[in-house]
């Protein structure tokens, strides 16, 4: 199939190679011309504008977007004037499912079929076999399915239903991921503080072979420990890209108790702080009622 691909970041570049590997034709565009040159080496046709991308595709066009969720709308705005009824636009990035429903509804008015696709598996998955959660128009799905079938790992794609259902599923996937990662982290932290002297790479390996908690994340943990046995070079700052927050917000809207996912998110936020105002207040209160000593901040002397 001939596919337009917009977005050649880490994920997009790997996805393009995966598509090419499965004998799809890829017309690729990115703001970064170096990325275009890079993917041309692998056999894609690079184009210098969205208009050129549109021109090189046949109707119904199949356009894959693999861009940050913050620019999806601007890409769609740029695309829309050139699209025809029946064209298929696929957002394979991490957009909020409510945005996807809105985009689906708006594009439907002009006959364009929008699909929301959550893509998991990281960069390696994008290259060698991804995991796709797909929502949107079922007719469009019939057209596009071969692309997903080819580039997914076996059994690694699911058409989940109406618009939004793909990105919703990916959002929840990431929420679960937050919880799993935090559980694994906490386990190793207790090991680290214990009286025992474990080799964490070996621990991760044994836990990944035959145990109840064997998982790809444990596999990755083994790999990480193989490079840095005590993770001494890595700061424990846990950034997040938004899907965990969306999961908790959604849980709040649905009045659903999700303590594990919420706490894993809060501990990420906490990890980005050197000190907290909560802590200052509690320390001050303890000092007030019990005369408990407080640790003073070092004064910066500037004269």
Of 25, 78, 177, 201, the active-site residue reads: 177
DSSP 3-state of 161: strand
Tokens linked to 126: 């994008």
Catalytic residue flag (residue 170): yes
**At closest approach, how far in Å is the CB of 51 from its own copies?**
31
- Nearest distance in Å: CB 106, its own copies: 19
Count of alpha carbons within 13 Å of 39, Cβ hemisphere only? 34
Q: Do residues 95 and 88 touch, judged by C-beta distance below 8 A?
A: no
Residue 45, phi then psi, degrees to nearest 5? -100, 115
Q: Which is nearer to its own copies, 109 or 299 (CB)?
A: 299
The yes-or-no answer on residue 230 being catalytic is: no
Shortest Å, Cβ 93 to its own copies: 13
Angstrom distances, CA of residue 134 to CA of 106, 115, 162, 172, 292:
18, 7, 9, 13, 57
Tell me the closest approach of the beta carbon of residue 154 to its own copies, in angstroms: 6
Q: Which of 38, 170, 222, 243 is catalytic?
A: 170
| Rounded-to-integer distance, Cα 104 and Cα 176, Å | 26
Q: What DSSP state is assigned to residue 112? A: -
Shortest Å distance, C-beta 197 to its own copies: 6
Q: Where are the beta strands (DSSP E) in 41-148?
A: 45-46, 62-65, 88-91, 113-120, 130-136
Give me the sheet containing 130-136, strands edge to edge.
Answer: 45-46, 25-29, 2-6, 62-65, 88-91, 113-120, 130-136, 152-161
Query: Which of 24, 70, 58, 54 minimizes the C-alpha distance to 242?
Result: 70
Distance from CA of residue 230 to its chain's centroid? 26
Active-site residues, by number, are 170, 177
């Amino acid at each position: 199939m001939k596919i337009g691909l917009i977005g050649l970041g880490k994920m997009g570049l790997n996805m393009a190679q995966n598509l090419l590997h499965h004998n799809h034709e890829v017309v690729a565009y990115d703001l970064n011309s170096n990325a275009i040159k890079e993917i041309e080496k692998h056999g894609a046709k690079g184009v210098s504008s969205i208009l050129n991308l549109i021109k090189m595709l046949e109707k119904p066009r199949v356009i894959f977007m693999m861009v940050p969720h913050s620019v999806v709308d601007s890409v769609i705005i740029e695309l829309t004037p050139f699209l025809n009824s029946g064209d298929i636009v696929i957002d394979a990035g991490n957009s909020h499912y409510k945005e996807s429903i809105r985009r689906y509804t708006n594009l439907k008015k002009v006959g364009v079929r929008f699909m929301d696709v959550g893509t998991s598996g990281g960069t390696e998955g994008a290259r060698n076999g991804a995991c796709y959660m797909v929502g949107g128009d079922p007719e469009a799905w019939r057209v596009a399915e071969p692309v997903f079938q080819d580039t997914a790992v076996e059994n690694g794609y699911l058409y989940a239903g109406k618009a939004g259902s793909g990105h919703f599923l990916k959002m929840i996937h990431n929420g679960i991921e937050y919880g799993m990662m935090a559980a694994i982290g906490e386990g190793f932290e207790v090991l680290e503080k214990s009286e025992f002297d474990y080799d964490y790479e070996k621990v991760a390996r044994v836990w990944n072979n035959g145990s109840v908690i064997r998982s790809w994340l444990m596999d990755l943990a083994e790999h990480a420990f193989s490079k840095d046995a005590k993770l001494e070079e890595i700061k424990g700052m846990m950034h997040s890209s938004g899907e965990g927050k969306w999961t908790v917000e959604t849980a709040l809207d649905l009045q659903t108790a999700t303590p594990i996912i919420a706490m894993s998110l809060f501990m990420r936020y906490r990890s980005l702080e050197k000190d907290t105002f909560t802590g200052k207040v509690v320390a001050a209160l303890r000092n007030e009622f019990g005369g408990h000593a407080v640790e003073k901040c070092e004064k910066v002397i500037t004269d």
